[in-house]
Amino acid sequence: MNYSRIAHQILARLPTNVNNVSNRYINSLIKQHTRKEQDFKAIKRIINQYKKQKAKEVITYGKIKRTSN
């Protein structure tokens, strides 16, 4: 089983940034692709490594960021 391919496929289909998604939701997506506990752990490890690499993004929801002059 190609763990990295499955992990990146899951990450590509997330509705938002990986840091804004709960672990429970990610676990449910991984369980849809795997049956064995070993496969689940390997994919989860790859996703967690990606989470640590990706910086946390601030969502402004269209508000203008003001800077002090």
Assigned token pair, 56:
């946390």
Q: Is residue 60 part of a domain?
A: no
Question: How far, CA to CA in Å, does 54 sit from each of 11, 62, 65?
Answer: 12, 22, 22
pLDDT over 90 (residue 60): no
Query: What is the domain count for the chain?
Result: 1
Residues in the chain: 69
Q: Is residue 16 part of a domain?
A: yes
On the question of pLDDT at 68 being above 60, the answer is: no
Asked, for residue 68, whether it belongs to a domain, the answer is: no
61, part of any domain: no
In a domain? residue 46: yes
pLDDT at 1: 78
Residue 66, in any domain of the structure: no
Q: Is the pLDDT of residue 69 over 60?
A: no
Tell me the pLDDT tens digit for each residue of 17-52: 888 889 999 999 999 999 999 999 999 999 999 888
Structural domain of 49: 3-53
Q: Is residue 62 part of a domain?
A: no
CB proximity list for 30: less than 8 A, separation 6 or greater: 10, 40, 43, 44, 47
Please give the model's pTM, rounded to 2 decimal places: 0.73
Whether residue 17 lies inside any domain: the answer is: yes
Q: How far is CA 63 from CA 4, 19, 60, 66, in A?
A: 36, 21, 5, 9
